[in-house]
A and B are shown apart, each in its own frame.
Chain A
Amino acid sequence: MSKTSLRTSPAEGGLGDEPLLAVEDLHVEFATRAGVVRAVNGVSYSLNPGETLAVLGESGSGKSVTAQAIMGILDMPPARIPKGEIRFRGTDLLKLSDEARTQVRGQRISMIFQDALSALNPVFTVGWQISEMFRVHRGMSKRDAMAKAVELMDRVRIPAAKQRIHDYPHQFSGGMRQRIMIAMSIALDPEVLIADEPTTALDVTVQAQIMELLAELQRESNMGLILITHDLGVVADVADKIAVMYAGRIVENAPVYDIYRAPAHPYTKGLLESIPRVDLKGQELYAIKGLPPNLLDMPTGCAFHPRCPYRQDNCVTDAPPLYGISGARNSACHYWREVLDGDPR
């Protein structure tokens, strides 16, 4: 690997066919007392500059673990990456030295989390924490870094930034704390921002503010955004393309309009149909039957088969590959054609 290739600025382009970030056949497993948990099982997705990729999944689907692997913040052990590549501008991050990795983390790929309060240090002022990014990574003086911090707080629309810079995290509301987190994560102009359930803990009106802010920042800087969420509404609002995860695998992969118009995997279809709709008021909601699988004891074949209305015998024995449907669409279902056609169950 060459360090120089990592230094390519986005303006220089030179990406060719290589996306900004590409996850290729990633496997992550955890050694636990009860056995090896395969949390991520061959996940691939890619992200281009200015693009928003939504990774949709429930708890245990492996969506956050994948993101943590990209950031390089998994505790290893117990985690292990037996297989796969994470290419950032063509360089496999998994093969980089710890030192080179640190140069990427937080500077060129950064992340915001669901719980902003626990992600911020309670004993330092927010100004100190934001300016630390500039002091540590850019070697700025305290004074200059503080001035930059005020600038950033303005950019994420924190009112009276100049006065509030000396406040502590607990003095801010949940929405404002999430803004501070965002300010820290964009401080060094990253090319990829990973947002892990950024609005789950927030109220809807505040969620709308934060999502608008993220979209604006993305437009300004052309960064790639990976939005990890379980909320189908948020995804429909902002995503360009979607990767749906189930039990550590991607089950469907498509541009956002396609997936909402006609899902090609029974799980996606089930999720979409279980949303309460106005015209179905008073009727029973469609519910995916059964429970998410136990990662220690995965079903054979397709992991979704015990809950699937389209199941046939071969679903129990053969794990479906990601079938290409058209262009950028994929579905890991043997019967994706039937699902697309909306065959009656």
Chain B
Amino acid sequence: MSDTPQAGPAGPDTQTLTPEQTPVAPPSRGRRRKKEGKPASLWTDAWHDLRRRPMFIFSLVLIAILLIMSFWPSLFTSINPMDARTCDLASARQGPSAGHIFGRDNLGCDVYARTIYGASNSILIGVSTTIITGIVGGLLGLIAGARGGLTDTVSSRVTEVFFAIPQILGALLITATFRDKGLGIWIVVIALSVLAWPMTFRIMRAAVITARSQDFVVAARALGASQSRVMFGHLLPNAIAPVIVVATINLGGFIAAEAALSFLGVGVQSPDISWGLMIADARSRFLEAPLPLVFPAVFLSITVLAFIMMGDAVRDALDPKLR
């Protein structure tokens, strides 16, 4: 597909330029295809395409570092910020020094170590919310799009109700109501998932409806394929690409939303660490000591940006129109 000499500019006359499995295969295909049994599918083509995108490689490296950081923070710092003994109130807001390269915060704790450990909660919340909204919204979208009729009408109206809720207000309401139930950071995941699943639902539903009208779905039905076979064998594989793209971009958004909620005091609670919480704590003394705020903010921005860049690159690679 990436080696399709695209018809786009050449107009309709060049349609048959699509890779012909002619007796003589074009050289570019031959190189790509290692052997007969391993043909190119959309995903392998997309992967070949992605590998050549600097933006994708850059975001991939960033995300890899962030993931390692959140799973094994001790690889990056020997200080455990959860241990109160590492903090020293006397040296609060101290600037960068040899052992504390980002300096110390209001309570005299190491900003670098806290920033590293903060990645873990941010990533956990982002990934969990993405998975939950992906499964819930995706599955409901698949069913609504595939069945149509009353199922579709009812579920679409329900999502519209959710869309009408102002996002941050809704999240504030949920987290504020359930903050004392001992759910820890999961309260943030629940709040974000409840509000965000309709977005996944809509994208999946639209993609399924597009796929549903294609002839190969009609052909499967004519063969007597069951509803679940049509849904999972034909519709899902052809509709999942846009959902994956949006999920990747949303992941960045969830991390930002978590920071916002924590900043407002209803998200992650002390002693858990989160970038939003760190920004909130550092805000009051920002003018005297800007660094405890700047470092988590920079990490937050880079993380969100990395996921959005990744989503963009994946979208370009999966969009057949661009190839």
A–B contact with Cβ pairs below 8 Å: the answer is: yes
Query: Measuring CB to CB, which residues of chain A are less than 8 angstroms from any residue of chain B?
Result: 30, 32-35, 37, 39, 58-65, 68, 74-75, 78-79, 114, 290-297, 299, 306
A-B contact pairs, 28 of them (CB 8 A): A30-B5, A30-B10, A33-B5, A34-B3, A35-B5, A35-B28, A37-B5, A39-B14, A59-B12, A60-B15, A60-B16, A61-B13, A64-B11, A64-B13, A68-B11, A79-B9, A114-B12, A291-B22, A292-B16, A292-B20, A294-B17, A294-B20, A294-B22, A294-B26, A295-B5, A295-B17, A296-B5, A299-B24
- Note all chain A residues with C-beta closer than 8 A to B12: 59, 64, 114
> Which chain A residues lie closer than 8 Å to B3 at the CB level?
33-34
Indicate whether B4 reaches chain A with its CB closer than 8 angstroms: yes
- In Å, the complex CA distance between A30 and B5 comes to 9
Q: A37-B10, A37-B17 are in contact. Are A297 and B24 (CB under 8 A)?
A: yes
Q: Which residues of A contact B10 (CB under 8 A)?
A: 30, 37, 39, 65, 78-79
A68 to B14, CA, bound (A): 12
Enumerate chain B residues within 8 angstroms of A74, measured Cβ to Cβ.
9
- 8 Å CB interface, B5-40 against A: 5-6, 9-17, 20, 22-28
State in angstroms the CA–CA spacing of A158 and B28 once bound together: 51
List of B residues within 8 angstroms of A290 by Cβ: 23
Expressed in whole angstroms, the Cα–Cα distance for A56 and B6 within the complex equals 23
Shortest distance in angstroms between B190's beta carbon and chain A's nearest beta carbon?
Answer: 44
Measured CB to CB, the closest approach of chain A to B33, in angstroms, equals: 14
In the complex, A74→B10 CA distance in Å? 7
Given A34-B26, A64-B12, A296-B17, 7 more pairs with CB closer than 8 A: A33-B3, A39-B14, A65-B11, A65-B14, A79-B10, A294-B17, A297-B22
**Residues 19-63 of chain B, each 1 if its beta carbon lies under 8 Å from chain A, else 0:** 010111111100000000000000000000000000000000000
In the assembled complex, which residues on chain A have CB atoms less than 8 Å from the CB atom of B28?
34-35, 296
Alpha-carbon distance between A121 and B237 when the two chains are bound, in angstroms: 35
Q: Which residue of A lies closest to B10 (CB)?
A: A30
Q: Is the CB of B13 within 8 A of A60?
A: yes
Q: Is there a chain A Cβ closer than 8 Å to B155's Cβ?
A: no
Asked if B14 and A59 sit within 8 Å, CB to CB, the answer is: yes
7 shortest A-B CB distances, which residue pairs? A64-B13, A32-B5, A60-B16, A34-B3, A297-B26, A75-B9, A59-B15
**Chain B neighbourhood of A62, CB < 8 A:** 13
Tell which of B2, B10, B24, B26 has the most Cβ of chain A within 10 Å. Answer: B10
Which residue of chain B is the closest to A291 with respect to CB atoms?
B22
Q: Is the CB of A34 within 8 A of B9?
A: no
Chain B residues in 8 Å Cβ range of A75: 9
Q: How far is the CA of A297 from the CA of B17 in the complex (A)?
A: 10
Give chain A nearest CB distance to B316 CB in angstroms. 13
Shortest CB distance A56–B (Å)? 13
Chain B residues whose C-beta falls within 8 Å of the C-beta of A64 in the assembled complex: 11-13
**In the complex, chain A residues whose CB is within 8 Å of the CB of B27:** 297
Q: Determine chain A's interface SS by DSSP, over half rule.
A: loop
Nearest-Cβ distance from residue A250 to partner chain B, whole angstroms: 15
Residues of A contacting B5 in the complex (Cβ-Cβ under 8 angstroms): 30, 32-35, 37, 295-296
Bound CA–CA A114/B24 (angstroms)? 32
Residue in chain B with minimal CB distance to A36: B5
Cα distance, A35 to B10, chains bound together (Å): 14
Shortest C-beta distance, A110 to chain B (Å), equals: 17
* A299 to chain B: closest residue by CB: B24
On whether the beta carbons of A295 and B14 are closer than 8 Å, the reply is: yes
Find chain B residues with CB under 8 A from A32 CB: 4-6
Flag if B2 contacts A33 (CB, 8 Å).
yes
A63 x B13 contact (CB < 8 A): yes
* C-alpha spacing A243/B26, complex, angstroms: 29
Cα of A74 to Cα of B16 in the assembled complex, Å:
18
Asked whether B14 lies within 8 Å of A291 as measured between CB atoms, the reply is no
In the complex the two chains form, is A30's CB within 8 Å of B13's CB?
Answer: no
Chain A residues with Cβ under 8 A from B25's Cβ? 297
Complexed CA–CA distance, A79 and B5 (Å): 12
In the bound assembly, the distance between CA atoms of A87 and B16 in angstroms comes to: 30
> Closest Cβ of chain A: how far from B135's Cβ, in Å?
36
Distance A293 CA – B24 CA, assembled complex (angstroms) = 9
User: Which of A60, A62, A65, A294 has the largest number of chain B CB atoms within 10 A?
Assistant: A294
Q: Which residue of A lies closest to B323 (CB)?
A: A33
Q: Which A residues lie within 8 Å of B24 (CB)?
A: 294, 297, 299
Chain B residues within 8 Å of A297, by CB? 22, 24-27
Q: Which residue of A lies closest to B20 (CB)?
A: A294
Whether B13 lies near A39 (C-beta < 8 A) is yes
Closest to A76 in B: B9
Question: What is the CB-to-nearest-CB distance from B244 to chain A, in angstroms, rounded to a whole number?
Answer: 23
Cα distance A61–B24 when bound, in Å? Answer: 18
Q: How far is the CA of A92 from the CA of B3 in the complex (A)?
A: 35
B12 to chain A: closest CB distance in Å?
A: 6
Please report the C-alpha to C-alpha distance between residue A75 and residue B28 in the assembled complex, in whole angstroms. Answer: 25
Does the CB pair B9–A59 fall under 8 Å? no
B contact residues around A295 at 8 Å (CB): 5, 14, 17
What residues on A are CB-neighbors of B22 within 8 Å?
A: 291, 293-294, 297
**Cα-based distance from A150 to B26 in the complex (angstroms):** 53
**A30–B9 touching, CB < 8 Å:** yes
- Report how far A32 CA is from B28 CA in the complex, Å: 12
| B11 nearest in chain A by CB position | A64
Q: Report how far A299 CA is from B12 CA in the complex, Å.
A: 23
**Residues of the A chain whose Cβ atoms lie less than 8 Å from the Cβ of B11:** 64-65, 68
Contact indicator per residue, chain B 102-146, by CB within 8 Å of chain A (1) or not (0): 000000000000000000000000000000000000000000000
Expressed in whole angstroms, the minimum distance between the Cβ of A26 and any Cβ of chain B is 14
How would residues 283 to 297 of chain B score, 1 for a CB under 8 Å from any chain A CB and 0 otherwise? 000000000000000
Q: How far is the CB of B46 from chain A (nearest CB, A)?
A: 14
Across the interface, name the chain A residue whose C-beta is closest to B4.
A34
